[in-house]
Amino acid sequence: MADNGSVNDDTNDQNSPPLEIVKNEASVEDISREVQDTLTLSQRHKFWETQPVGQFKDLCDGNLPEGPIEPPTPLSEVKQEPYNLPNLYEWVTCDMDSEETCAEVYNLLTNNYVEDDESMFRLNYSKEFLRWALHPPGYYKSWHIGVRVKSSKKLVAFITGIPARIRVRSEVVNMAEVNFLCVHKKLRSNRLAPVMIKEVTRRAHLENIWQAAYTAGVVLPTPIASCQLWHRSLNPKKLIDVGFSGLGPRMTMSMTMKLYKLPDSTVTPGFRKLELRDVPEVTRLLRNYLLQFVVAPDLDELDVEHWFLPKEDVIDSYVVESPETHKITDFCSFYTLTSSILGHPTHSTLKAAYSYYNVSTKTPLLQLMNDALIVAKQKDFDVFNALDVMHNETFLKELKYAPGDGKLHYYLYDYRLKHILRPSEVGLVLL
Ligand SMILES: CC(C)(COP(=O)(O)OP(=O)(O)OC[C@H]1O[C@@H](n2cnc3c(N)ncnc32)[C@H](O)[C@@H]1OP(=O)(O)O)[C@@H](O)C(=O)NCCC(=O)NCCS
């Protein structure tokens, strides 16, 4: 999931945007404090304590090896029938190519997916986005799992996996990226989520895949990294009007608009949209760049074509082609994810760009990401979001991003790491 926090508005000062960087050390401390709190409440994670995931009690045990927590079971021993659901409900496989099914999933998520703590905004993934997110090379239809009410056939819950090769240190592991876990608001707190997680796990096991990667805003056993989402205002007036951000102390609206104003056109010579012919070169650039992170996807040309070729209102990618050599030296990308604005009289949607993967070898990252802001502004986005993963910390403050409230925690299923990673060691962005 993408975080849906709003801007911390208590850190504004007169001449600069809110600038309260959360240091990596602090985030590790936060986690261990949250862990301590958790340990005092015994049996708090009745489900997760039964799963092959890093357990809080093992956090300080440096003797446990890195890698898979359990050996894979022989495929013949994988449970062949789905897990039991409460009697009124049934499993369905959601064919996202079907306009009707895709619309049902879209409606479930639009009304029931992730909200901010104050329920002012709810993530609103478009149908086109969902199809893109769920149909990468080699996807399994059986991993797009719905729960319906038997009698009415109403879709009331959803969870998905997609296959991905994820490198952890030097090991490339076939994993499922699990996302879009959603239970209808009226069915919450009935322990449906654990059954859904077990079912997607079973279906991954049937394909001989034993590890998974996922993110969540909540702390579960046990994050491999805890990251923060930052927000760069592109349309500050609207963001303030809808309560996404606040007017800083001693700031007027016109001062704020001036502060966030961007040039009309990009500044880097050779900055242009990614095209199909660039895929081999961009794949080499990305693969080489991602090697420096502890956890990162292992992308081939087919993946790059799927994940980065521009798709209107879904994914935008740009390259810098050297005007002299015509080599591609830099790359940046962002995906489109709107949020519904709940109960506002005049505005109903917030259009956000989310930084995806960026590579700078020649153009300074700061300049590249400023050009990304400029094109996002031209495309009428209200806000540009970026996690503090990879090298993003080097441009966030300077480009006037403000930290959001809340964290996005990264998790691996059935794979242990000895230490919590710093956000800058994470080279993975999930949608
Ligand atoms: C997340 C959601 C599906 C959980 O369902 P629920 O009805 O609240 O919770 P249930 O009673 O079914 O299950 C509770 C168990 O699920 C776990 N859980 C809750 N949210 C989770 C998440 N995002 N990822 C993994 N496990 C989660 C809980 O920790 C608990 O297990 P535990 O006892 O071991 O701690 C539901 O709250 C929801 O749809 N929320 C809005 C969308 C959302 O936040 N999706 C997750 C995006 S990461």
Q: Which atom of ligand 1 is nearest to the CA of 184?
A: 39
Kind and range of the H or E run holding 240: helix 236-241
Is the pTM above the cut of 0.85?
Answer: yes
Q: How many Å separate Cα 329 from the centre of its chain?
A: 26
pLDDT along the chain (431 residues), means of 10: 57 32 42 52 83 92 93 96 98 98 99 97 98 98 98 98 98 98 98 98 98 98 98 98 97 98 98 98 98 98 99 99 98 99 97 98 98 99 98 98 96 97 98 98
**Ligand 1 mean position, distance from CA 191 (Å):** 8
Instruction: Please indicate whether residue 431 is annotated as part of the active site.
Output: yes
For 50, what's the count of Cα atoms within 13 Å in the CB-facing half-sphere?
A: 6
Is the Cα torsion angle 9, 392, 130, 90 positive or negative in sign?
A: negative
Q: What confidence tens digit (pLDDT) does each residue in 332-348 have?
A: 999 999 999 999 999 99
Task: Name the residue with the closest Cα to ligand 1, atom 14.
Answer: 191
Structure tokens, 276? 């199909």
Given 59, 123, 274, 431, the catalytic residue: 431
Gap from CA of 130 to ligand 1 centroid (Å):
20
pLDDT in tens, 172-230: 999 999 999 999 999 999 999 999 999 999 999 999 999 999 999 999 999 999 999 99
Say how many Å lie between the CA of residue 338 and the centre of ligand 1: 22
Distance between CA atoms of residues 208 and 200, nearest Å: 13
Residue in this structure with the two tokens 């009698």, named with its chain if needed: 151
